[in-house]
Amino acid sequence: MNFDLHDTDLHLFPYRIVRIMQRVPAQVMDYGISLVNAPAVWRKTKGQNIRVGILDTGIDRSHPDLKPNIHGGYNFINNTKQFDDDNGHGTHVAGIIAGTDNGVGIVGVAPQAQIYALKVLNNRGVGSDRNIIAGLEWSIINKMDVINLSFGSSKSNAQVRDALVKVKKAGIVAVAAAGNDANKNGTDTVDYPGRWSDLVITVAAVDQHLQRASFSSQGPEVMLAAPGVDILSTYPNNRYVRLSGTSMAAPHVTGVVALLQSYAKAVRNKRFMPDQVRQQLLEHAIDLGQPGRDRNYGYGLIHLA
Q: Which residues are catalytic?
A: 56, 89, 247
> In sequence order, which ranges of 48-128 are alpha helices (DSSP H)?
89-98
How far apart CA 299 and CA 269 sit, in angstroms, is: 29
37-70 burial by CB neighbour count: b if 16+ within 10 A, else e? bbeebbeebbbbebbbbbbbbbbbbebebbeebb
DSSP label of 293: S
DSSP label of 186: -
The CA distances from residue 146 to 2, 76, 257, in Å, are 26, 19, 7
Helix (H) or strand (E) holding 279: helix 274-283
Dihedral of the alpha carbons of 250, 161, 179, 292, in degrees to the nearest 10: -70
CA 244 to chain CA mean position, Å: 13
Beta-strand relationship, 114-119 and 51-56: parallel
How far apart CA 107 and CA 20 sit, in angstroms, is: 17
C-alpha Rg value of the chain to the nearest Å? 17
Asked whether 89 and 56 are in contact (CB, 8 A), the reply is: yes
How far apart CA 9 and CA 132 sit, in angstroms, is: 11
